Amino acid sequence: MKEFTLIFRMSDFEKVKPSPEEMQERMNWLASIASQNKLVDKGNSLIPNAESAKTVRSGDVVTDGPYTEIKEFIVGYVIVRTEDIDEAVEMAKTNPIFKIGGNVEVREVLKRD
Amino acid sequence: MKETESYNELLPHMFRQEYAKMTAILCRHFGLKHIEIAEDIASDTFLKASEHWAINGIPENPTAWLYTVAKNKTKDYIKHLSVFESKVKSDLDSNKSVQSDFEYNEQIIKDSQLAMIFAVCNPANNYESQIALALQILSGFSVEEIANAFLTKRETIKKRLHRARLNLRNNNFQIRELTKEEIESRQSTVLSSIYLLFNEGYFSKTNNQLIRKELCFEAIRLTKVLSDNKLTNTSQTNALMALMCFQSSRLEARTDQKGEAILFDDQDRKLWNKLLIEKGNFYLRNATIGKEISKYHLEAGIAYWHTTANKNKWRSILQLYNQLITMEYSPITALNRTFAFSKVYGPEKAILEAEKLKLNENNQYHELLGYLYTQSNIPKAIEHYEKSMELTKSEIEIKSLKKEIERLKEKTTSNNVYKK
């Protein structure tokens, strides 16, 4: 089994705060993976607001807000355990984030030990 | 005459609890290393009680009577046994000076019981051994009774207990007032042992209703010892207690007179024990004063919703199962979560969820799929129920599965008649 980090990205600040229904949908998605014993780490949500995010650049340059050069910002991550990347991609496809214009980046975890 | 009759009822009940308490007090006196001496004196004391009370009736204060006898027996023991001088005393002397007299009062009894619970729920032993040991030492069950509860051979239980006792003796745990550090480092083990003891009763393999109830109520009694002590009366202790009260409230309703399981929806709610539900509510309120959420909190929450007739409860139950499964995976939680999912989103969507679980060797997995297919695909439902029958060892389950398969088969034939 391999481990993959699913990185959630959004481009619309307005839609980040979920409604109770959206919250329930997200929990259902996460619990579905956990029910298959494939959840390694339920991860965290990352707050994208200006007062909760800073970006630090070379030369002591600090700007407010998350890194948005690609017009997107990271809102959270989850780590799953699957046979291969295709299975992780299939999991990502069922995430409700697509309903609110987000996307998911799937990245294999390099395990050092 | 009346008194000699009632002693027959009083003694076995009293025997267990008082025997366990007395053993704990004597262990405080002799040290865990000599638990056998403590047990010998305790059982001698109760033997004497059974003889004496049968003839003379029950004394006015039975507990005081028992402790006086135990004290005398301890004195005799120390006086007469020469082995004590040469072997035991030197061991004991290294801890504290041995007196032939020992103290007992409500507080000492409580402290010793608590310490004994912490001694027995010892990570040095695996959970199976811990539970067997807890039943023997903390609850005064005989080897026979433990073997019946586990549906295991007497010899196996004997061996298990023997090994566990060796570990216990070699582990230098002191039966005395516990320190805060000891409690903090051991309490989660203690709670999970009690939790497993309860489940052993609640989901027992045995058909014997009496044994099941006794295991459940022993788990509750031990948790009460924890909640009565300030240091162990934690949020998790209260949550566990709430969970066990809610579950136990249905003990009467969940089996019929033949010991066959009655499904939740078919249970007679009038048989649910209201007092236990109220107690559960009380402990659940205590448990939710802080911010902590443990698996006991989540399970108590689920058990709470089950005691209500609220129409929207399944949504809340699903949410709690969602949290529970992301906290700790277990096949049974995954199955229960999927059942709750079906109650909220219907069997069609739940089948998709269920088939992802891939618990092909699990009888309950096939039972769940059988249930989910009942409405849409009867042959498939029967197939899963049959698979579940192959996998289970429980006679009760086989019976109720057979019944369900019969019912489905009748349904298909009567449907065919309509079509004609």
Q: Where are the domains of chain A?
A: 2-108
Tokens for B7, please give them. 């002693």
Q: Does B303 touch chain A (CB under 8 A)?
A: no
CB of A40 less than 8 A from some CB of B? no
**Integer Cα distance of B151 and A77 in angstroms:** 46
pLDDT tens over chain B, length 420 residues: 344 445 555 556 667 778 888 889 888 888 888 888 888 899 889 888 888 888 988 888 888 898 899 988 888 887 776 555 556 555 555 444 455 567 778 888 888 889 899 988 888 888 888 889 988 898 888 888 888 877 788 999 999 999 999 888 887 777 777 888 888 888 988 998 899 889 888 887 666 777 788 889 989 999 999 999 989 999 999 999 999 999 999 887 777 666 666 767 777 777 788 899 999 999 999 999 988 899 999 999 999 999 998 888 999 999 999 999 999 999 999 999 999 999 999 999 999 999 999 999 999 999 999 999 999 999 999 999 999 999 988 787 888 899 999 999 988 776 665 544
Chain A residues lying within 8 Å of B364, measured CB to CB: none
Task: Read off the amino acid at residue B204.
Answer: S
Residues from chain B that touch A31, judged by Cβ atoms under 8 A, are: 321-323, 325-326, 337
Q: Which long-range contacts (CB under 8 A, 24 or more apart) does B278-281 make?
A: B279/B245, B280/B241, B280/B242, B280/B243, B280/B245, B280/B246, B280/B249, B280/B304, B280/B307, B281/B242
Interface predicted TM-score (ipTM):
0.90
Residue A28 C-alpha, separation from nearest chain B C-alpha, in angstroms: 7
Q: How far is A37 from chain B (nearest CA, A)?
A: 6
**What's the DSSP call for residue B240?**
H
Of the candidates B406, B414, B344, B349, the one whose C-alpha atom is nearest the C-alpha of residue B381 is B406
A7 versus B202: the higher-pLDDT residue is A7
Taking the C-alpha atoms of residue B277 and residue A75, their distance in angstroms, rounded to an integer, is 42
What is the Cα–Cα distance from A38 to B50, expressed in whole angstroms? Answer: 58
Q: Which of A35, A40, A42, A87 to mutate: most B Cβ within 10 Å?
A: A35
CA B328/CA B341 separation, integer angstroms: 18
Residue B295 has what DSSP assignment? H
Phi, psi of B404 (to 5 degrees): -65, -40
pTM of the model: 0.83
Class of domain A2-108: alpha beta
Q: Collect all residues of chain B within an 8 Å Cβ-Cβ radius of residue A39.
A: 326, 329
Q: Cα separation of A36 and A81, whole Å? A: 10
Report the residue from B315, B323, B337 with minimal CB separation from A35.
Answer: B337
Phi, psi for B174 (deg, rounded to 5) = -100, 135
The reply to whether residue B334 touches residue A42, judged by beta carbons under 8 angstroms, is no
C-alpha B296/C-alpha B302 separation (Å) is 10
Q: Which residues of chain A have a CB within 8 Å of the CB of B356?
A: 32, 35-36
The 10s digit of each residue's pLDDT in A31-40 is 999 999 999 9
- The answer, for B360 touching chain A at a CB cutoff of 8 Å, is no
